[in-house]
A and B are shown apart, each in its own frame.
Chain A
Amino acid sequence: MVRFDRRRWLFAVPALACGALLGVRAVAQSPRVVQVRVRRFVFTPQVIQLKKGEPVVFELSTDDVFMGFSVPDLDIRSDIVPGKVSRLELPPPKAGTYEFLCDIFCGSGHESMQGKIVVT
């Protein structure tokens, strides 16, 4: 019985430790949600501040027309569908400035529809 308990402990302790570590990591990796509201021809916010290595999910929404959110230098993009919330994951970014734009032509003013993500 004593041996059985010791054996159980030998398995249980590392398992608990791993579980605790995974739990901590899971909390640490919970992505920050950044809401981006879009209307012709403006993103709000136009400047998005992020921390280096911080995983992020963008929630993109519009009540206007069909548009797009593209960050070419990070190789991510999403359609923005009127009346819906589009979720776009951003893997933990490196420090830098990344410009974003609407990549679906939406009218006169489309060309000025851009912003930037600043990662520090």
Chain B
Amino acid sequence: MKDMDRRDFLRLAGLGGVVFASTLAGCATRGPGMGANATEDFHFVQLSDSHWGFEGPPNPDAKGTLPKAVAAVNALREQPDFIVFTGDLTHTTDDARERRARLAAFRDVVAGLKVRNIRFMPGEHDASLDNGEAFREFFGPTRYTFDHKGVHFIALDNVSDPAARIGDEQLAWLAADLATQAPDAPIVVMTHRPLFDLVPKWDWTTRDGAKAIELLMPHRNVTVFYGHIHQEHHHMTGHIAHHAAKGLMFPLPAPGSQPNRTPLPWDPSQPYRGLGFREVDAERRGAEFALTEFPVKGA
């Protein structure tokens, strides 16, 4: 056990499958852009697309799934440094009062998480019908940056504009932020929609996402975590890895695999199939991110 790293332990314990190792050179050593913070091992958890307020056959346990995910995160042997929610916390509604009721209910459920350092991001279901107004009332800005143990995190908002644009003003903000980072600084971008054209005919894209990628390209150690597509997915644009997370309400079909992006039906023989969350390990020794996927299980 002495020589076993945390990922090996997780693998042997059967707590999840390590499915992807994203190189993050720069995490291992202090680079010129890393300031005074030495990089340390840490891990965080990504949850996404809980769609609180959705009701329908794709999930007969719509009100029970998020609490089960909260319990599963609380049951992790090692609690994460922080947790990120990459959007679609709630299912959309035209009723502004109901939107706030759903955001409040979601907030109350996740208040049960042991870890209190939680970063929230909106999805189009939370923010596109009121340009993020209700979301900001509950969870603050829809875009922000923070640094954690030598890694620079950037939350990008590609949903408050219902046309799925980041927008020139936010792109200028991104450019100014990136200018403070060295080319080899480890950078994690969190967003809701894919920044690249995954399946444009399913609206699985960001209209001006290519501009954000262009700004990120000069930086050698960039990893993107996103949601929106309700399934695990991995893609490279040049040297930049993009990782989509599973959702917590219903899974969606594989990208472009059928005419419509309708939710996959609930399977009573395998309840909660396709739902889950992710743990992300930033390791000094391995200089990489290791992703571990966890399922949601019944009580």
The residues of A with any CB-CB pair to B shorter than 8 Å are 66, 68, 70, 72-73, 99-101, 103-108, 110-112, 114
How many angstroms from the CA of A101 to the CA of B197 in the assembled complex?
15
How many angstroms from the CA of A101 to the CA of B261 in the assembled complex?
11
User: Is A111's CB under 8 angstroms from B129's CB?
Assistant: no
Question: What residues on B are CB-neighbors of A106 within 8 Å?
Answer: 162
User: Could you list some 11 contacts between A and B, CB below 8 A?
Assistant: A103-B203, A105-B124, A105-B129, A105-B163, A107-B92, A108-B92, A108-B94, A111-B261, A111-B262, A112-B262, A114-B201
Is B200 close to A, CB under 8 A? yes
User: Is B260's CB under 8 angstroms from A114's CB?
Assistant: yes
Nearest residue (CB) in A for B200 is: A72
Question: What residues on A are CB-neighbors of B197 within 8 Å?
Answer: 72
User: Is B259's CB under 8 angstroms from A111's CB?
Assistant: no
From known contacts A111-B261, A112-B262, A114-B260, infer whether A104 and B162 are also in contact, taking CB-CB under 8 Å.
Answer: yes
Question: What residues on B are CB-neighbors of A73 within 8 Å?
Answer: 201
Q: Which of B227-274 contact A (CB under 8 A)?
A: 259-262
Question: What residues on A are CB-neighbors of B201 within 8 Å?
Answer: 72-73, 99-101, 114
User: Is A101's CB under 8 angstroms from B92's CB?
Assistant: no
Is B139 close to A, CB under 8 A? no
Nearest residue (CB) in A for B163 is: A104
From known contacts A101-B202, A105-B124, A107-B129, infer whether A68 and B260 are also in contact, taking CB-CB under 8 Å.
Answer: no
Q: How far is the CB of A9 from chain B (nearest CB, A)?
A: 57
User: Is B93's CB under 8 angstroms from A108's CB?
Assistant: yes
Is B69 close to A, CB under 8 A? no
User: Most B CB atoms within 10 A — which of A68, A99, A101, A104?
Assistant: A104
Residue from A100, A103, A114 in contact with B164 in the complex, judged by beta carbons closer than 8 Å: A103
Question: What residues on B are CB-neighbors of A99 within 8 Å?
Answer: 201, 259
User: Most A CB atoms within 10 A — which of B128, B163, B203, B259?
Assistant: B203
Q: How far is the CB of A103 from chain B (nearest CB, A)?
A: 6
User: Is A107's CB under 8 angstroms from B94's CB?
Assistant: yes
Is B207 close to A, CB under 8 A? yes
Question: What residues on A are CB-neighbors of B202 within 8 Å?
Answer: 101
0/1 string, B190-226, CB within 8 A of A gives 1: 0000000100111100010000000000000000000
From known contacts A99-B201, A111-B203, infer whether A105 and B162 are also in contact, taking CB-CB under 8 Å.
Answer: yes
Is B278 close to A, CB under 8 A? no
Known contacts A105-B159, A105-B162; can you find 16 more A-B pairs with CB under 8 A? A66-B162, A68-B163, A72-B197, A72-B201, A101-B202, A101-B203, A103-B207, A104-B163, A107-B129, A108-B91, A108-B92, A108-B93, A110-B92, A111-B262, A114-B201, A114-B260
How many angstroms from the CA of A111 to the CA of B201 in the assembled complex?
10
Residue from A66, A108, A112 in contact with B260 in the complex, judged by beta carbons closer than 8 Å: A112
Q: How far is the CB of B263 from chain A (nearest CB, A)?
A: 9
Question: What residues on B are CB-neighbors of A70 within 8 Å?
Answer: 200
How many angstroms from the CA of A114 to the CA of B80 in the assembled complex?
41
How many angstroms from the CA of A53 to the CA of B197 in the assembled complex?
28
Q: How far is the CB of A98 from chain B (nearest CB, A)?
A: 9
Q: How far is the CB of B57 from chain A (nearest CB, A)?
A: 15
How many angstroms from the CA of A22 to the CA of B203 in the assembled complex?
42
Q: Which of B170-208 contact A (CB under 8 A)?
A: 197, 200-203, 207
How many angstroms from the CA of A67 to the CA of B92 in the assembled complex?
16
How many angstroms from the CA of A100 to the CA of B203 in the assembled complex?
10
How many angstroms from the CA of A68 to the CA of B129 in the assembled complex?
14
How many angstroms from the CA of A114 to the CA of B200 in the assembled complex?
12
User: Is A105's CB under 8 angstroms from B164's CB?
Assistant: yes
Q: How far is the CB of B77 from chain A (nearest CB, A)?
A: 37
How many angstroms from the CA of A99 to the CA of B203 in the assembled complex?
11
How many angstroms from the CA of A73 to the CA of B124 in the assembled complex?
23
Q: How far is the CB of B282 from chain A (nearest CB, A)?
A: 33
Residue from B91, B163, B261 in contact with A103 in the complex, judged by beta carbons closer than 8 Å: B163
Nearest residue (CB) in B for A75 is: B200
